[in-house]
Structure 1
Amino acid sequence: MSDRILVTGGTGKTGRLVAGQLVNRGIEALIATRYPSSADHVYFDWDDPTSHASALDGVTSVYLVAPTDRTEQLPAMRPFLEQAVSRASGRLVLQSASSLDEGGPMMGEVHAWLHTYAPRWTVLRPSWFMQNFTTQHLPSITHDRCIYSATQDGRVPFIDVADIAAVGVEALTDPALASRDHVLTGPEALTYDEVAHLIAEEVSRPVHHLRLSMEKLTARYVGVGIPQHYAMALARMDEAIAQGAEDRTTVEVERMTGHTPNSFVNFLATNRSCFDTA
């Protein structure tokens, strides 16, 4: 039987790249979405159990991106995971985060569930995305000429989502890979002050890092429509960075894919136009 891989979050940052890289290898990628619009799409909704069985029809492996509109993912994902374990003969690959240990909050609970119940599983634990600066941070960079955070002097080994996707594809397609988690990082850890300086150099205009307290960052998130409990969870992640939780690099991207992870300087050069067209 040929591989048929279901990609949840298939229209998102990593999911669409995972699907594209699978197709480039000649592997069928089925994109799970609430709004299917083409032949390679299938209707899927975490909150609609009636969509789960049909989405898994003929599927061998699954790329899992948890729902992001809540802080407790396992209750929403468990009904689907139970079906996936019994019906998919291959591997379940979860995109989690470097800040979330097995058994911890959010995707950490899903990680622990997979370890207990899935015959073959992989958990990707990437650090923060480089693409955050061309998406959610972009309005403040272009309009306020600053990046808001509560990270203080904490360092982050920002990673390109293309590198995450490349590792995900290896995990989905290598049947000999041992079940475990992989902490994925870029090649260097940077403070937000350093990030602001590098962006300023690239765009040839001032960009600063504005240091906020956790409370003020929470209020800023709430002000743009993020629910209070989720805003607090995001702000606490910044506080953890300030305390050194992300100050590390790993060689997992190169070990899994054979290529070195993209650098932040190269990422900025490649995406220079984003800062001009915003």
Structure 2
Amino acid sequence: MRDRILVTGGTGKTGRLLAEQLTASGAGARIATRRPSAVDHVRFDWDDMTTHGPALDGVSSVYLVAPTDRAEHLPVMLPFLEQAVMRVPGRLVLLSASSLNEDGPMMGKVHAWLHAHAPRWTVLRPSWFMQNVTTQHLPSIIGEGRIYSATQGGRVPFIDAADIAAVAVRALTETTLASDDHVLTGPRALTYDEVARAISEVSGRAVRHHRLSADELTDRYLGFGMSRHYASVLAGMDDAIAHGAEDRTTDEVERMTGRPATDFASFLIDQRAVLSGGQP
């Protein structure tokens, strides 16, 4: 019988790629979304408990992506997690972050809960996504020739979301994998100054890194409509990078998938049209 895997955040950066890779591997993906628009979609809302049970019907494993509109995730995710532990025979796989330790803030509390209550679990802790330069940073890259951060000269081992999805496929389908967390990185740690230079070389447009203080970055996020608490948490992550928190690499992508992690230069070449102001 083919596995049916529930993918929360199924239209997001990793969820969409995961669903594609699961289908290619022969597993079935059920995409959980607030606005279902296809036969393999199911309506799902973390805040609406009436959507939780139907989403779990017939599911063998679950990929968990926390809601992005808040800084603390366990309270809103807990009702669904409690149902999933009771009803799902396979593994619960949480997308967290390399900067978030077990029982730390945000997804760290969910990590700790899974460790304590789920029979089979995996927590993926990737570093910052390469795709950030083609999504959240793209407007300032195209419109101003700038990338804004409070990372100063700190280094980040950016990772391709497709590599995260590939690791998630194994975690969701490999029954003998031990429960554990995995810090996932690309092959090289880069400063945002180096990122800006690499984008300039590939795109043909001059791009530079504009260094902000953590307070200035918080104000920038507030201008985007974020709550002050969430904005300060995100700015604090940049400040941690500035102090070396992300300056490391691991071989977890290769160990879990059997192939090396994607390098940043190759990713940028693939995204040249987007970074030049065109379409994907």
TM range (shorter): over 0.9
Aligned-partner Cα distance in 2 for 1:37–1:142: 31
Partner of 2:228: 228
Map 1:86-125; keep pairs closer than 5 Å.
86-125=86-125
Kindly provide the CA deviation profile for residues 73-99 of structure 1, in whole angstroms up to 9, marking residues without a partner as x: 000000000000000000000000000
Residue 206, structure 1, aligned to residue 214, structure 2: no
Paired AA for residue 55 in structure 2: A
Matched position secondary structure for 1:114: helix
Map 1:116-135; keep pairs closer than 5 Å.
116-135=116-135
Aligned-partner Cα distance in 2 for 1:54–1:201: 49
Aligned-partner Cα distance in 2 for 1:202–1:105: 37
Aligned-partner Cα distance in 2 for 1:17–1:215: 34
Partner of 1:146: 146
RMSD: 0.8
Partner of 2:253: 253
Give the drift of 1:28: 1.0
Matched position secondary structure for 1:269: helix
Matched position secondary structure for 2:206: coil
Matched position secondary structure for 1:30: strand
Paired AA for residue 163 in structure 2: D
Partner of 1:136: 136
Matched position secondary structure for 1:199: helix
Kindly provide the CA deviation profile for residues 29-72 of structure 1, in whole angstroms up to 9, marking residues without a partner as x: 10011111111011111001111111100001000000010011
Matched position secondary structure for 1:14: helix
Aligned residue-pair number: 278
Give the drift of 1:277: 2.9
Aligned-partner Cα distance in 2 for 1:2–1:170: 15
Paired AA for residue 226 in structure 2: I
Paired AA for residue 261 in structure 1: A
Paired AA for residue 99 in structure 1: S
Give the drift of 1:27: 1.0
Paired AA for residue 68 in structure 2: T
Matched position secondary structure for 1:94: strand
Map 1:22-61; keep pairs closer than 5 Å.
22-61=22-61
Give the drift of 1:2: 3.2
Aligned-partner Cα distance in 1 for 2:49–2:265: 44
Runs of 4+ with deviation above 2 angstroms = none
Q: TM-score, normalised by structure 2?
A: 0.98
Instruction: Check conservation: 2:14, 2:165, Cα contact below 8 A.
Output: yes
Aligned-partner Cα distance in 1 for 2:120–2:140: 42
Partner of 2:75: 75
Aligned-partner Cα distance in 1 for 2:37–2:143: 35
Matched position secondary structure for 2:276: helix
Instruction: Check conservation: 2:92, 2:120, Cα contact below 8 A.
Output: yes
Aligned-partner Cα distance in 2 for 1:25–1:159: 22
Partner of 1:156: 156
Instruction: Check conservation: 2:142, 2:277, Cα contact below 8 A.
Output: no
Give the drift of 1:224: 1.7
Aligned-partner Cα distance in 2 for 1:69–1:60: 28
Aligned-partner Cα distance in 2 for 1:200–1:276: 9
Partner of 1:187: 187
Kindly provide the CA deviation profile for residues 255-276 of structure 1, in whole angstroms up to 9, marking residues without a partner as x: 0001101111000000001022
Matched position secondary structure for 1:277: coil
Give the drift of 1:178: 0.3
Counting aligned pairs with the same residue, the percent is 69
Paired AA for residue 207 in structure 1: V
Partner of 1:171: 171
Matched position secondary structure for 1:176: coil
Kindly provide the CA deviation profile for residues 158-208 of structure 1, in whole angstroms up to 9, marking residues without a partner as x: 000000000000000000000000000000000011111111111122111
Aligned-partner Cα distance in 1 for 2:19–2:128: 21
Paired AA for residue 75 in structure 1: P
Instruction: Check conservation: 2:203, 2:273, Cα contact below 8 A.
Output: no
Residue 12, structure 1, aligned to residue 12, structure 2: yes
Instruction: Check conservation: 2:33, 2:42, Cα contact below 8 A.
Output: yes
